[in-house]
Structure 1
């Protein structure tokens, strides 16, 4: 059996669970990338002698050609709607099972911090991954979180008891933010590959007229339509790689500054804690000496 301190036990359980959950999401989006990572097939028209581009590859049996369907962005977004709904149903079923266990045989069930933190991170990661393909997924996720909040309030009051091991709320909050950051980057990196390397569908969606210049073609068109020249020049300047490198460097310096500040504050707190412990020990020693001296004088 593994024997860890409460803090290490929390970290280990979170790492195991979140790794498995996020790995399943990575496999899902990797499968969608593999399914849509090709162009639509070009088919020759015998009558006119011209070449036409297909709107879907799903009905074509061409070796080496992916099965990209018509409006493939909608099909990817639908997968994340299904995952969101499935996650909501699974959480409800587990709470109902816990309620049945508590009423039938197990009594009150201990509130598992690890599981509930994992559920929040997993749900938010699903929302981030599918947000580009289904913008209304954010609204659905918001409604889902509100419903789960009120359901879990009832669940905690009727089913759960506090855990035997207690954790500091501030440390749980910081750990939760780190795992949310991990979920955010796991979502951003695959979406960057989709936006950078896969062309939009040519028959539907806001990007259907930009199959050659990709998703960023919409941004270029909007910039060209700006009538005020200074604003256009500023936006073009912000889009240059040199400017992006400078902004990225500034963000890294800012992150390092806050990291150094947090480290210094942590060292200061540790030093103050040691000084307080020394003062406490000296106070106990002084009280002990005073008591001994008082007892000796009373005996004399």
Structure 2
């Protein structure tokens, strides 16, 4: 077989593609043309002492040609060059760096480099394996192609919350349920005639219980469920169990925080890049948004639809910005006046909703004491669910009102989504806060420790002998009622509306019209449900497990509803906005839920008749008592962590690291600004060269 001749660089000035020497060329030299470029007017990018354009020495030219000739065979020997891969630039760069590290590790021959190479390859394989087993990846891609990136972000958030609840359920089982039974079977409920200074507690009714009562107990968390692993009061007062119970709360909270922060940071990068204007041009969407690694007609169509939705968002927001730019002073004043009036209306609606929640919570306590309510189980169930019913009704009525108000304010679609989300999340989370404040008034006698009902035990033991279980029951009812409300909306409103729209082509069908998937309302429903779980997971340990089953059912129901009853949204919005804003609202919900839990742990005395912390002055008191049983060296170290000798150096080191991070971010910002300016200058260079080329071609034509 004939061998192919080795490639050799042609001499400078030959006709093989290299430019001829300056002596052999006629007309203006290349250096003179380059020195006339706009970028040559300043030394900002080249610095002082740099030779002018075209002043490269002949030896340097020969050296660069020789280096190119030596590197070319090496590139040809690569099995799969990075530049030929159908990947983005970042992936190509990572592939090239990884290939270089592998070559260095193989060439060194040391055992350390060999094991480092094996470890890195195993990590990459594990990461790729996790990416391939990621649930519902194709479903999310299909949803994004047919309904836009905003709808896809809802299902992505639902999958993320499902993962959070599944991990929390595993930790709860390992740190609470297993220690409960490993130390022996937990004891039963207190005897009916058992009493103490803090009253008596009888969670299970005596005698036969009708089936209807059992069903109502299942819905309200009372009866046979009240003394079960579902609620706080079931767990016995064992030292090891108390420690693991309390540590599980902090471990799960830390896990939530880290995973949400990780998701927020990844979404922040996309949001900053999208909002900066660097990637919002139409040329980027047209020339750089296509994935050349796609195979199959279905994938190609989905990618085309995604690009179509992105261009639609850009065009809609460009129209709104263009209208805002040409407003007169009077029109601008009118717009701000309308916004002020609409915001006053929003605050009035929110105030009325909060007062209604507070009234419903107080009325529930009064109605439960009436004999008629106690004799009728169905009426008692309705009274128990009165706060949940009112909160769900408010959350069902007001978000559509906010959606009608937002377009009247004259903002872009993405800004409208943000305002709708802010108002809706404030409504939902503040309603939950009002409910918790009402329960706090009942538990602590409105904060009056000298009240008759709270003076003996530190809490209202007459009405709430096990206040932790009562709080867990309220969160359990909120979770269950939210699920039942979602099922009712799907079965009784959305599907009949779709049938009515298809069977009635006349005015009635146009009135029903095809419904769209309301991303803000659906997302805030998820965040509200997750916040309820975060508040109640300490008082109802199995609540994350129930929420996992709920979200799993909700995913398939919403998917069925989306593909069978909904049409693509007429007005879409950027996925980058929601990818950052949704985790941010999740962090807000996590912070709000941490307040009542930490307040209960540190300040409210635990119930004396139920729970693993009975007999303690506070729930947190179990931690110092356990530390005192450790060896003296460990005690000294743990107590040292709480002294000023440890806190002050830690604060100083944190301040230094923060200052360094801020300085580094500022330097990166200046570098980015310089690079942007350089890009603008390069664009001017291209325009200048194009003009010179046109002028030279015109001159040659006249000659």
Indicate whether 1:229 and 2:632 are aligned: yes
Q: 2:595 & 2:655 partners in 1: Cα distance?
A: 18
Q: Which of these residues, 573, 577, 599, is aligned with residue 171 of structure 1?
A: 577
SS of the residue corresponding to residue 409 of structure 2 reads coil
SS of the residue corresponding to residue 608 of structure 2 reads coil
Structure-2 residue corresponding to 1:73 = 468
Structure-2 residue corresponding to 1:198 = 604
Mapping 1:37-48, distance limit 5 Å:
37=444
Mapping 1:99-248, distance limit 5 Å:
99-105=495-501, 106-210=512-616, 212=617, 214-226=618-630, 228-240=631-643, 243=646
Q: 2:656 & 2:588 partners in 1: Cα distance?
A: 20
Structure-2 residue corresponding to 1:10 = 417
Structure-1 residue corresponding to 2:427 = 20
Retained in 2: the 8 A contact 1:41–1:57? Answer: no
Report Cα offsets for 1:94-141 as digits up to 9, x if no partner: 333223323322454322221222122111211111122112112122
Q: 1:2 & 1:58 partners in 2: Cα distance?
A: 51
Larger radius of gyration: 2
SS of the residue corresponding to residue 199 of structure 1 reads coil
Q: 1:11 to 1:70 in 2, by over 3 A?
A: same
Retained in 2: the 8 A contact 1:74–1:133? Answer: yes
Q: 2:458 & 2:602 partners in 1: Cα distance?
A: 21
Where does structure 1 lack aligned partners over 5 or more consecutive residues?
Answer: 44-52, 60-66
Aligned length: 281
Q: 1:256 & 1:99 partners in 2: Cα distance?
A: 57
Q: 1:94 & 1:268 partners in 2: Cα distance?
A: 53
Shift of 1:283: 3.7
TM-score under structure 1 normalisation?
0.77
Q: 1:249 & 1:28 partners in 2: Cα distance?
A: 41
Report Cα offsets for 1:197-239 as digits up to 9, x if no partner: 21111011011020x3x1112112221222x332232223334
Structure-1 residue corresponding to 2:97 = none
Q: 1:270 to 1:79 in 2, by over 3 A?
A: farther
Higher RCO (CA-CA < 8 Å; seq separation 6+) = 2
Q: 2:603 & 2:620 partners in 1: Cα distance?
A: 11
Where does structure 2 lack aligned partners over 5 or more consecutive residues?
Answer: 1-407, 502-511
Shift of 1:57: 4.7
* Larger displacement relative to structure 2 (288-297 or 197-206): 288-297
* Larger displacement relative to structure 2 (199-208 or 280-289): 280-289
